[in-house]
Amino acid sequence: MEHTEVVKPETLDDLIKILHKIFESDSINVEEVQNIMESYESNPQEWMKYAKFDQYRYTRNLVDEGNGKFNLMILCWGEGHGSSIHDHTDSHCFMKLLQGQLKETLFEWPDNKSQGDMVQKSQRILQENKVAYINDSIGLHRVENVSHTECAASLHLYSPPFQTCQTFDQRTGHKNTVQMTFWSKYGERTPFETTVSQENN
């Protein structure tokens, strides 16, 4: 009898174990990953140890390396913090709101010949416990915490993991390649690096 029941993760550790199982396969079922991440109900007591905020910019905090198949991380957004417009280096990107709200703005890829403002495709407000998905065929995006009174935190899964991405100037479409770094790993602050800012989420 073929019946695969979706096991609801009760804790963040449960979610990580289930994700490891899902990613044993070489193919990714986007809907399955999205559903399992959405079914985890955010509990700050479980993820707060990874949530490291910075006064000046959003932070990327590694939670799990997924046996080399994916990176799972928590991004922490202070009031008014946001990313640049960026791509995802041919990876799948899942983003779950753990706390607060985030605004996602989707953009078309700039035409090499065109000059001027990048074309905006859509905009939405992401609510707590909801999961968004993007890859490079969908477009580019920018994510922002537009609140001036509330912080936000989001759980991100990238598969396969990547070390660089491209950021884009909204006014010209010009792009730069930037190196990705982590503010912390497994709850511990990483050594200070003088590299260019890690613009991605």
Q: What is the DSSP string of 43-71?
A: -HHHHGGG----SSS-EEEEEE-GGGT-E
- 198 within some domain: no
- 4 within some domain: no
Asked whether the predicted pLDDT for residue 63 surpasses 70, the reply is yes
- 167 within some domain: yes
Mean pLDDT of 154-182: 97
Report helix, strand or coil for 201. coil
Mean pLDDT of 48-62: 98
- Total domains in the chain come to 1
Given the structure tokens 């963040």, which residue do they identify? 12
What CA–CA distances, in Å, run from 104 to 9, 147, 163?
Answer: 26, 13, 22
Lay out the sheet containing 184-185: strands in order across.
131-134, 92-99, 152-159, 71-77, 59-64, 184-185, 188-189
Mean pLDDT of 2-19: 84
What does the pLDDT read at residue 20?
Answer: 98
The size of the chain, in residues, is 201
- 21 within some domain: yes
- 98 within some domain: yes
* 39 in Cβ contact with 31 (< 8 Å): no
What does the pLDDT read at residue 196?
Answer: 44
Amino acid at 122: S
7: phi then psi, degrees, rounded to nearest 5:
-85, 125
What are 105's strand-pairing partners?
A: 123, 142
What does the pLDDT read at residue 195?
Answer: 46
- 1 within some domain: no
**Does 156 belong to an annotated binding site?**
no
Report helix, strand or coil for 4. coil
What does the pLDDT read at residue 114?
Answer: 74
What does the pLDDT read at residue 46?
Answer: 98
**Does 174 belong to an annotated binding site?**
no
Asked whether the predicted pLDDT for residue 201 surpasses 90, the reply is no
What does the pLDDT read at residue 6?
Answer: 66
Instruction: Please give the Cα distance from 92 to 164 (Å, whole number).
Output: 14
Tell me, what CATH number does 40's domain have?
A: 2.60.120.10
- 82 within some domain: yes
Q: Range of 134's domain?
A: 12-188
For 2-6, 127-131, 136-140, 146-150, which range has the lowest pLDDT when averaged over its residues? 2-6
- 2 within some domain: no
